Every structure is written in C-alpha cells, then in structure tokens.
Chains A and B, each alone.
Chain A
Amino acid sequence: MAEYSAMIDDHTIRGTSTPEKDKMLEVKGLKTYFFTSKGVIPAVDDISFTVSRGRILGVVGESGCGKSMTALSIMGLVPPPTGKIVAGDIILDGKNIASLTEKEMCQIRGNEISMVFQEPMTSLNPVYTVGKQVMEAAILHQHLSKAQAKEKTLEMFKLVGIPEPKKRLDSYPHQLSGGLRQRVMIAMALICRPKLLIADEPTTALDVTVQAQILQLMKKLQTELDSAIVLITHDMGVVAEVCDDVTIMYAGKIVEQANVFEIFDNCLHPYTAGLLKAMPAFKENGERLYNIPGMLPNLLQLPKGCRFYPRCECASAICAEQEPDLVEVGQGHFVRCLKYRG
C-alpha cells in the first residue's frame, strides 16, 4: 500500500484548495425546480460546487437524486416548460452562463462545454455517418471549412484510439461496437477542445474491459487538453479509479463533498457510508450485504428535517425537526448531517 500512496502527489491529496484562476466551473446555489400539476418538485435544491482545471469531479447518487438534472442545468438543457432554473449562478471560466439567452447558450454548448451521454446508440444519429456528425460540431463552432473539419475529425479519431480512423469516418453508428460508439461520442465532445466536459454515466452501458479503456482514455485526454471533467456515475468503483473530488447527492441536495481519498477513508455522512457498505466488492461470498433501508423520498412530499432521516440508522429525535446545513468539517470536506454541526 505504501508505494501507491507515495505516487500520489501533494496536490492530489490536499484537493480542493485551489487558487481562483484555476477554477473552471463554479456552481453557486443552483436550484432547478419542476412545476407540475401535482406540485413543485425540487429536483436540484441549492447545489454548490467547484471544478478546477485539470481535475475530475465525480457526482454520485441513486437514480432520481438530481445528478443528471444538475448536468442538464449546467448545459442549459432543462426540459421546458415544467423545468426551470429558479436560482443560482453557473460561472464558467469567469462568465456567468445561467442568465444567457438560448441563442447565446448555443455558442457555448458544444464549444466550451460539451457532454457525453450514457447511451451511445441513442445519442448518435443513425442516418448520418459518424464522421459527418463529429465534423458538424467543428464546422458550427470553429467555423472551419469541410476539409479542415475532416482533417480535425481524423485527428480526434486517432486521439481517442479508434482503429482505422480513415475508414471509420464513413461508418454509420450501427456498424460500430458499443465501445467504438462511445469513443466517437468522446471525439465529438472534445473536438472543439471544451473547457468543461460533462460525462453522464459514460461507461454504464459498456463491458468492464471497454469501461477500463474508456476511463483511461478520459484521464489521458484530460491531462493532454487540461480541461475539467464532471463525471456523473453511481458506481463507486469508477469514482475510485478516476475522480479527484467527489460530491454525493441525495434527494436533490449535496450530502457530502470531499476529495476522493477522504470519501473512501473517512466518509462521515451515513448515506455515503451506506453506499460504500452496499458494494459487494468488499464482501466475501456468504457474508450478507448491507442495504440502506427504505427508498428515496418522494420529492413532492419531502420529510421535515433531514431528507435522509427516515432511512438513517444514526438518526436521533432532532433529525426529524431540523434540517442540517452543509458544514465544513475538515479542509475541503463538507457534510450535511446534524452529527457534525458546529
């Protein structure tokens, strides 16, 4: 174990204390609500985080906790008309993009921020060749000519490790395997050298061997391009492999935030502990797996007090009454639990 720790440099360990100029994305008090006929759903409720240049932030949580909606909010893609960003700032490289109009946002989307989706098959257009689809981004945003765009696409295909890149330019999505399609998606996302890449469960639909390749690729490209990545996942194994910082979300709120070593060595929130304990990887055959009792609360009828209280094993009477704040307990380590207040 010792030699591995020695390889991790000081910067990685100390995590979130980064100078102002390195901040690539800062989200402050973001609230995305859905106004439905049944009531208001606070899908994203007061989320704040920072991603620095050259770092990977992992956003973790169960389905329905608001992690994908956070990503869509940053992209300006909250589904209208029910969904709306009601408060908060999204500051990308010093510029607030939360208040931009759709037209201005189009200039940023795909150019300065881009996104890789979970399902590579459904996010590629089946009737155009992949080369054409990747070129489109470059032609639209970088105002390149067709020939230049093609050359750039070829270069990107080589960078993401697509074999026979020249031949693949003229392939249709159905002719490629899942791993190759995801590589095409990554090439498309990175062709304009975005400042920020949002990857929403990029490896969930893939085999372990391909997953390992894609994760290594993302890490390699990030160091080469010096961009920031927000990686949305529910797999703590993936988080341990590539992320520098971790944000754990529960029912629309951040419950814990720290660098990856803190989360795995010294997690404080009972929900984070539950997620880690539920993983079969830590167990021998025959031992019972831990599971977090109960289910995610209905966002229309949130419990008073702590949102995790009905499922929490360490809950006391006060948890039902008082809603905890996100407090800093150590350097860059935030937790939302009444056990750790003040």
Chain B
Amino acid sequence: MGEILIQSKNLKKYFVDTGGWLSKRKNTVKAVDNVDLEIYQHETLALVGESGCGKSTLARLLINLLEPTDGEVCYKGENIFSLSAEATKQFKKQVQFIFQDPYACLNPRMKVSDIIGEPLTTHKLANGTSKENRVEELMNLVGLRKEFMNRYPHQFSGGQRQRIGIARALALNPELLICDEPVSALDVSIQSQILNLLKDLQGQFGLTYFFISHNLSVVRYMADRVCVMFLGKVVELGNCKEIFEQPLHPYTAFLMNAAPIPNPRLRNRERLLLEGEVPSPINPPPGCSFHARCPYVQEICRVEEPKLTDRGGRKCACHFSLT
C-alpha cells in the first residue's frame, strides 16, 4: 500500500432539526459520527451502506463541501478546514467529484466544450486555443469524438453524459476522484463500459478513487478496500476480497447476503433477511446502533457501544465477531 493521501480523524457532522420556529423540540441527526478513515494513494476505497447511512455526507466532508461539526480531514498531512484561501483553491483542484445522475449534473444550456472547459477557466489554467486543445484531449481520453464538442447535453445518451462528467472531473489532473454512485443510473452494458474506462484512467494517471455504491457486484469488481457504514458509523473496514468472503460484522453479512446472485440454481439458498427498517438516525438507540436488528444480540450490545478495533488487518465495530 502507498502513502496515506487523505485521512479523516474523529470526523463528525450533526444536523440539527429545530422543528420550526415555534417548536421547542430539537432533534440532532448524527449523519457522520466519529469516522476515522484513511485513503491510500492509487487505491480504490469503496463505501457501501444503505441509503441514509451518511455515505454522501462523508464524501462531501472529505472535499470540504460541508463544514464538519467536529474532527478534521487531513489531505497529505494538512487539515483541509484550516487552509488559507489560496491553499484551499489548490486543494479543490486536486479532488474532483463524479455525480450519480448524468442527466442532472450537466447544465443543459452549456455546450460540451464549455462544460468540460469550465474548470480550466475557473482556475485560470487555459483559454482560447490551449483550452480547446485540452478539451479535445480530454474528450479523446474518455472516448468521445471531438466533433461532439459543440453539442448540448440533451443530444447524448446516459453513458455518453457520464463520460462528459468524467472528462470534466479529469480536466484539472486531480489525484482523488470521489465517485458517488457513478453507474447506478446506467444500463448493464453501458455500466461495464464506464467501469472499464474508470479502471483504465486509474492505471494511466495513478488516480485514487473513493467509490460510493450500493451495487455490491460493482464494488467487488472495482474496490481494493471496502468500508461499510451503518447509521453514520463505520462498522467494518478492510480488504475487499476478505470482506466479501468472510464478513466479520453481522451487518456486513446481511448486506452481502442480500445482493442478488445471477445464478437461478442458487435462488433457494439459505437467506439472512434483515427484519424491519433502518432505524432513524434521529435519537439512535443506546449501545450498538445495529442491536435492534441484529440476530446475535447480547446484553452488552444494548448498553455499550462497540469500538472499531483491529481484527487481523481488518477493522470491525462489534463486541463479538462472526468467526
């Protein structure tokens, strides 16, 4: 493994819901609660979890789109929340975002060349012919023909739009790409094209990916390490293959088991189905946040919150372990 590129320490983000100006009620949503995470250079770290577990909030915190309630994020050793204005600008050049919905993330009134070239203009890196050349180069890189330069987003298919989004993210030669469900809106055959493209680009430019997805087969294909989140907390973190083959945390086991297997002969396999809904992040239960749904629950789980501890190269937040 390479050096640590970005690291979060005791990162917290609480949202306070005051319930309107007449209400005396005050609810705190712990969207991200005490997350310690490091992303190494050139790796793909996948983040999985159900909707509402804080995946996107964590991603936004990592690139300074949100102010944390507490804790810090260090990019190459420096806390990104206490950088000078100039340094913040430099930092934002090095981290870029690929969004989930290729239909919503492109401005319908801008031409493709303007969309891809906009980061270059913002950071005053190129203009005129040099900008045009760079845009051409980027389009070539992601497999778009340069004749498409003067077209508008609505003239493209979903897969092509996602390529435009990727070209825009690459315009500033970033080191870290945050991919928030980049293929979940695409068809299987297009999805495989985009995944191949992301893999190629990673090899070519030594990119680091923070890959958010709820499609576990995509995660298994893309990731080096996997981080599983539940209600704002990391419950398991470790090598991708090990996590898929032998999950330590019961929640991870449920998640892996719920993924559909494309083999009809295995459809009658033994199933672990989670009962109930995800508990509300407002006023989570005391003790382990998973205890209400966990089949192996013991007395200690209801009282004491488990810490994320090292288990032979992997980390798991459970009083017990499945092995």
Chain A positions near chain B (C-beta within 8 angstroms): 1, 4-5, 7-8, 62-63, 163, 177-180, 207-213, 215-216, 234-243, 260-261, 264, 274-276, 278-283, 285, 288-292, 295
B239 to chain A, nearest CB (A): 11
Cβ-neighbour of A240 out of B192, B195, B260 (below 8 A) = B260
A166 to chain B, nearest CB (A): 17
Which residues of A are found within 8 Å of B235, using beta-carbon distances? Answer: none
Q: Are A291 and B268 in contact (CB under 8 A)?
A: no
Q: Tell me whether B218 is interfacial, beta carbon within 8 Å.
A: yes
Cβ-neighbour of A236 out of B188, B214, B257 (below 8 A) = B188
Q: Are B264 and A240 in contact (CB under 8 A)?
A: yes
23 CB-based A-B contacts, threshold 8 Å: A4-B266, A7-B268, A8-B265, A62-B189, A207-B214, A208-B50, A208-B215, A208-B259, A212-B273, A236-B188, A239-B262, A240-B262, A264-B263, A278-B189, A278-B191, A280-B195, A280-B217, A280-B222, A283-B221, A285-B224, A291-B193, A291-B196, A292-B189
Indicate the member of A4, A179, A280, A282 with the most B CB atoms within 10 Å.
Answer: A280
Distance between Cα atoms of A278 and B254 in the complex (Å):
26
Q: Are A62 and B216 in contact (CB under 8 A)?
A: no
Which residues of B are found within 8 Å of A178, using beta-carbon distances? Answer: 51
Which residues of A are found within 8 Å of B319, using beta-carbon distances? Answer: none
Cβ-neighbour of B277 out of A163, A235, A288 (below 8 A) = A163
Q: Tell me whether B274 is interfacial, beta carbon within 8 Å.
A: yes
Distance between Cα atoms of A45 and B316 in the complex (Å):
54
Q: Are B262 and A237 in contact (CB under 8 A)?
A: yes
Distance between Cα atoms of A120 and B222 in the complex (Å):
30
Which residues of B are found within 8 Å of A295, using beta-carbon distances? Answer: 157
Q: Are A242 and B196 in contact (CB under 8 A)?
A: no
Indicate the member of B188, B218, B274, B277 with the most A CB atoms within 10 Å.
Answer: B188
Q: Are B274 and A241 in contact (CB under 8 A)?
A: no
B188 to chain A, nearest CB (A): 5
Indicate the member of A234, A281, A283, A288 with the most B CB atoms within 10 Å.
Answer: A281
**In the complex with contacts A62-B187, A209-B255, A289-B221 CB distance below 8 A:** yes
Distance between Cα atoms of A207 and B217 in the complex (Å):
13
Cβ-neighbour of B220 out of A63, A280, A290 (below 8 A) = A280
Residue in chain B with minimal CB distance to A235 = B260
Q: Are A208 and B188 in contact (CB under 8 A)?
A: no
Q: Tell me whether B276 is interfacial, beta carbon within 8 Å.
A: yes
Known: A4-B268, A208-B214, A240-B266. 11 other contacts (CB 8 A): A4-B266, A8-B265, A63-B158, A207-B50, A236-B188, A239-B262, A261-B264, A281-B220, A281-B262, A289-B192, A289-B221
Which residues of B are found within 8 Å of A278, using beta-carbon distances? Answer: 188-189, 191-192
A262 to chain B, nearest CB (A): 10
Which residues of A are found within 8 Å of B255, using beta-carbon distances? Answer: 208-209
Which residues of B are found within 8 Å of A237, using beta-carbon distances? Answer: 217, 259-262
Distance between Cα atoms of A207 and B53 in the complex (Å):
11
A233 to chain B, nearest CB (A): 10
Q: Tell me whether B267 is interfacial, beta carbon within 8 Å.
A: yes
Indicate the member of B261, B264, B271, B276 with the most A CB atoms within 10 Å.
Answer: B264
Q: Are A282 and B262 in contact (CB under 8 A)?
A: yes
Q: Are B264 and A260 in contact (CB under 8 A)?
A: yes
Distance between Cα atoms of A236 and B260 in the complex (Å):
9
Q: Are B240 and A180 in contact (CB under 8 A)?
A: no
Which residues of A are found within 8 Å of B276, using beta-carbon distances? Answer: 163
Q: Are B187 and A236 in contact (CB under 8 A)?
A: no
Residue in chain A with minimal CB distance to B259 = A208
Which residues of A are found within 8 Å of B189, using beta-carbon distances? Answer: 62, 274-275, 278, 291-292
Q: Tell me whether B278 is interfacial, beta carbon within 8 Å.
A: yes
Q: Are A211 and B220 in contact (CB under 8 A)?
A: no
Cβ-neighbour of B192 out of A239, A260, A290 (below 8 A) = A290
B160 to chain A, nearest CB (A): 9
A336 to chain B, nearest CB (A): 18
Q: Tell me whether B223 is interfacial, beta carbon within 8 Å.
A: yes
Distance between Cα atoms of A279 and B277 in the complex (Å):
29
Distance between Cα atoms of A291 and B198 in the complex (Å):
14
Q: Are B188 and A279 in contact (CB under 8 A)?
A: yes
**In the complex with contacts A163-B277, A241-B260, A289-B195, A208-B216 CB distance below 8 A:** yes
Residue in chain A with minimal CB distance to B277 = A177
Residue in chain A with minimal CB distance to B159 = A295
Q: Are B192 and A209 in contact (CB under 8 A)?
A: no
Distance between Cα atoms of A198 and B215 in the complex (Å):
24
Indicate the member of B199, B240, B274, B277 with the most A CB atoms within 10 Å.
Answer: B277
B35 to chain A, nearest CB (A): 20
Q: Are A8 and B268 in contact (CB under 8 A)?
A: yes
Distance between Cα atoms of A281 and B260 in the complex (Å):
10
Residue in chain B with minimal CB distance to A286 = B199
Q: Tell me whether B300 is interfacial, beta carbon within 8 Å.
A: no
Distance between Cα atoms of A241 and B261 in the complex (Å):
7
Cβ-neighbour of A285 out of B216, B221, B259 (below 8 A) = B221
Indicate the member of A276, A283, A291 with the most B CB atoms within 10 Å.
Answer: A291
Residue in chain B with minimal CB distance to A62 = B187
Which residues of B are found within 8 Å of A207, using beta-carbon distances? Answer: 50-51, 214
Q: Tell me whether B124 is interfacial, beta carbon within 8 Å.
A: no
Name B241-263 residues within 8 Å CB distance of A: 241, 254-255, 257-263
Cβ-neighbour of A264 out of B214, B216, B264 (below 8 A) = B264
Which residues of B are found within 8 Å of A280, using beta-carbon distances? Answer: 191-192, 195, 217-218, 220-222
Type the 1/0 row for B163-196, where 1 means its CB is closer than 8 Å to any CB of A. Answer: 0000000000000000000000001111111011
B72 to chain A, nearest CB (A): 30
Distance between Cα atoms of A241 and B268 in the complex (Å):
8
Cβ-neighbour of B262 out of A62, A216, A236, A242 (below 8 A) = A236
Which residues of A are found within 8 Å of B216, using beta-carbon distances? Answer: 208
Q: Tell me whether B269 is interfacial, beta carbon within 8 Å.
A: yes
Residue in chain A with minimal CB distance to B222 = A285
A4 to chain B, nearest CB (A): 5
Which residues of B are found within 8 Å of A8, using beta-carbon distances? Answer: 265, 268
B171 to chain A, nearest CB (A): 25
